[in-house]
Amino acid sequence: MQHLDYAEHVLGTRIFSVVPSILPLPALGFAALALAGKLLGGGRWEDLQTVLRGLPNNVTTEMDLELWRLAQAIKNDGGSRAAVTDRAPAELAEDFRAGQLPAVLQSGVARFMGQYGHRAVAEIDVGMPRWSDDATHILGVLANYLRLEGSALAPDIQFSNAAEEAEACVDRLVAEARSRGRLRGTVVRAALRRADYALELERRHVPRVLLSDGTEPEAVPSGDAAAASTVPGALTGSPASAGVVTATARVILDPVGARLEPGEILVAPSTDPGWTPLFLTAGGLVMEMGGPNSHGAVVAREYGIPAVVGVPDATLRLSTGQEKTVDGGAGTVVPS
């Protein structure tokens, strides 16, 4: 009860003093992005999405990459690798609490928990167990990472490639704008400064329009999305991260204990930071809820994963094992 009282005190007194100082920052970022789009002309949403890839200093992304580095250390240690691949995560979690795991695994997980053990799936609920309370989920994620083969699929390489593509896209867009006027190019360069967009990370989607019942109206499809909506079995939503991928879908309702094969399309109701270790092996993302600036969309852009969000009943209308094509620029999910 003492912990609960403290949590209620912090939530009731600290949050309201912090929020007013934060809100103007994402608004400034959105305004800069809109200005760049206006100066570049219409139809440049996919290019502007690319600019937002591989953004640095996101604590959630840094957490995922740290977990990936731990997986590589485990892979290089025979005893630790055998323990993670041959034993159940729940059993390993018990041994971790008792300090009985192989040395590399025990020290690596302890170090990770020292920095990120306060996090959890659905962590906004203060009643949810933290990873430091139960390491089962993290040990299961490590087991998934050890199955990932091929350096091109390595998450740290994908993140680095996404950052390079983003910087190259900024240079290309600035050159294009300068061809239409030096001042225009200078303004676009200022508007697309990627460091500024780090402030936008993990901001929640704020609807422009709400219906009388408090819900957000579905977007009316246009262009490629309108064409795709006529395809039998096609789903449409909000474009969240540009790119196209054709792969097997896997519907996951709870990330704890979930197994996502490398390259599969993750289909989920919504995500929070507790889900993001799964993003490192995902080939695409489809979410029922959220908008272009929801958690899943932001992380997908950072890793360069095609993503469509706000797809009604996606976890019911898609099934694990189906082959689907996700077009994150058009906001469509169609049978392949």
How much is the pLDDT for 206? 46
- The token duo for 59 is 């604590």
The residue type found at 323 is E
Is the pLDDT at 291 greater than 50? The verdict is yes
Q: To 5 degrees, how large is the angle CA 9–CA 15–CA 18?
A: 140
How much is the pLDDT for 195? 47
Identify each DSSP E strand in 175-298 by its residue range.
235-236, 238-241, 244-251, 265-268, 284-287
Which has the minimum average pLDDT: 66-75, 80-89, 144-153, 171-180?
Answer: 144-153
The answer to pTM > 0.75 is no
How much is the pLDDT for 189? 65
Higher-pLDDT residue of 113 and 8 is: 113
Q: Which of 39-48, 101-110, 147-156, 224-233 has the largest mean confidence?
A: 101-110
Structural domains of the chain, ranges and CATH numbers in brackets: 224-335 (3.50.30.10)
Identify each DSSP E strand in the chain by its residue range.
235-236, 238-241, 244-251, 265-268, 284-287, 307-309, 323-327, 332-335
Q: Which of 265, 262, 270 is nearest to 320 (CA)?
A: 265
- The token duo for 187 is 């303004």
- The token duo for 216 is 């957000």
Is the pLDDT at 230 greater than 70? The verdict is no
